[in-house]
Amino acid sequence: MQQQMPADHTDTRRILAVSYYYAPIENPGTRRVGSFVRYLPQYGYHPVVLTTSSYGTTADDDSALILRAPDLLDVARSLVRRVVRVRADSASGWQGPLVAPDSRISAVLEQVMIPDIQLGWLPGAVMRGRVLLRTGFFRAIFSSSPPVTAHLVGYALKRASGLPWVADFRDGWLFEPPNKVVLSSIIRQRIEGVLERAVAEGADRIVTVNDVLADDMRRRYPATAKKVVVISNGYDPAEYNFAPSTMSSVRFRVVHTGSLAYSRKRTLITGLLAALQRLRQQHAPVMERLDVRLIGKLSLAERAAIADAGLDESITIVGSVAHSDVLRIQSEAEVLLLVTAADDASVTTSKLFEYLASGRPILALTGRSAAGALIEELNAGEVVHPDDVDGICRALEGLYRRWLAGELHTRVDARVHRFDRRILTGELAKVFRELDPWSR
């Protein structure tokens, strides 16, 4: 597909937005970058998206200026499938995709592909990006991770064009990475460290989603201190175009939306399962009407742990649903469940801001994290360490008693408004203006 720039390009401030995850795939990165793309024109900037072809296309790719580059790993997979018909292998957990996140081949590739298994996208993305930038229509480059391969694309395009480059970190790289394989060996850490430093020092601005990530970047790379900016995750009010149900539920629904270990491999629900088993053994009243609903894709290991816990009567696995339905389900829950890795201080997942926008009480199973601090700041729910079985039991019983008494009210703190994605996009536009010589 060869796309052309609009005829009025000479009067348009264009941004090349590099993001591996983008529509049609549902992903927190898709929603963050997608909202920037949606609202930047209100601030005078018009993005062109450079993404992968791995997840297909959308009907409006041409009109929306979405350009896709192939991932060499996907090309190889297509060739394999032409020769060998891929069959489900229940013994190995191979359920079709050659590089499914919890497959054996994925685990092997994660060990050898640096910085991540999306590295195969790098050559095509750089080649496509360089062709675009030669048109001279662009004011800046924006890249968003994970995967951090997106920043390697941004780095290469910055070197090729000399344009200002903004690197957006939704998660850390060497600091609390979503996948600890990055820290699996000293040699790998050194290689990743060289790459991270090149990105940190090469970018004109570094955007992080919270102060924990920003402080880490400033501490490890002091030369970057003045160019680190925090633009948090957020929610999009335009997506709340539904009428929440007014019917009362006979079940005490504790709802988790999104993935667990698929997003961060050390996100475990073992503490929650142990708490539910204890409450059942104690014949706690909460278990009579409890319905823990897991909305989203679960790994085979997570499904096995739930089955082994024998909690089928209390846990409902719903699977993946459309994001519009996710927001409605959040608004109708009695309690919203958040789970993070126990030792990750830097996590503020995108679902947290949707939870806050819904106004429903949150039960956050998290350690001393940015997410927990924000929930406590806004008095938005209960914060318990994910391994504190006693604490989880007390929190569930307390929330259940409040529900029976009709005291679990919907309450959206006015301070949540600052996480409106339109406002956050304005903060990003300000970064572009500061770097844009034509805006001075």
- The model's pLDDT over 394-438, given as tens digits with 9 standing for 90+, comes to 999 999 999 999 999 999 999 999 999 999 999 999 999 999 877
Q: Looking at residue 28, what is its pLDDT?
A: 87
pLDDT, residue 440, reads 57
Per-chain mean pLDDT for the chain: 89
Q: Is 4 a domain residue?
A: no
pTM (2 d.p.):
0.89
CA atoms of 355 and 373, how far apart (whole Å): 15
Q: What pLDDT does 102 receive?
A: 58
Residues 140 and 252 in one domain: no
* 152, 179: one domain: yes
Question: Within this chain, do residues 257 and 294 fall inside the same structural domain, yes or no?
Answer: yes
What's the rounded Cα separation, in Å, for the pair 319 and 427? 35
Domain tally, the chain: 2
Residue 54 is which amino acid? S
29 or 10: which carries more pLDDT confidence?
Answer: 29
Same domain flag for 117 and 264: no
Give domain status of residue 85, yes or no. Answer: yes
What pLDDT is stored for residue 136 in this prediction?
87
Tell me, yes or no, whether 341 and 301 share the same domain: yes
The reported pLDDT for the residue numbered 108 is 79
pLDDT category of residue 159 using cuts at 50, 70 and 90: very high
Read off the pLDDT of residues 13-24 as tens digits, 9 standing for 90 and up: 999 999 999 999
| Residues 172-223: tens digit of each pLDDT | 999 999 888 888 899 999 999 999 999 999 999 999 999 999 999 999 999 9
- Tokens 């940015």 label which residue? 370
Looking at this protein, which amino acid is placed at residue 15?
Answer: I
Q: What is the pLDDT of residue 12?
A: 75
Within this chain, do residues 131 and 61 fall inside the same structural domain, yes or no? yes
Regarding whether 205 and 252 lie in a shared domain, the answer is no
pLDDT at 88 exceeding the cut of 50:
no
What whole-number distance in Å separates Cα of residue 6 and Cα of residue 363? 48
CA distance 386 to 315: 17
Question: What range does the domain containing 385 cover?
Answer: 239-418
pLDDT value of position 342: 87
Do residues 346 and 359 both lie within one domain?
yes
Q: Is 176 a domain residue?
A: yes
CATH number for position 108: 3.40.50.2000
Is 283 part of a structural domain of the chain?
yes
Residue 96 or residue 27, greater confidence? 27
Polymer length in residues for the chain: 440
Residues 146 and 213 in one domain: yes
Assess if residue 287 is contained within a domain.
yes
Claim to verify: residue 192 and residue 52 sit in the same structural domain = yes
The answer to whether position 322 is within a domain reads: yes
Residue 402 maps to a domain? yes
Q: Do the domain assignments include residue 372?
A: yes
170 and 26 belong to one structural domain: yes
Q: What is the reported pLDDT for 15?
A: 97
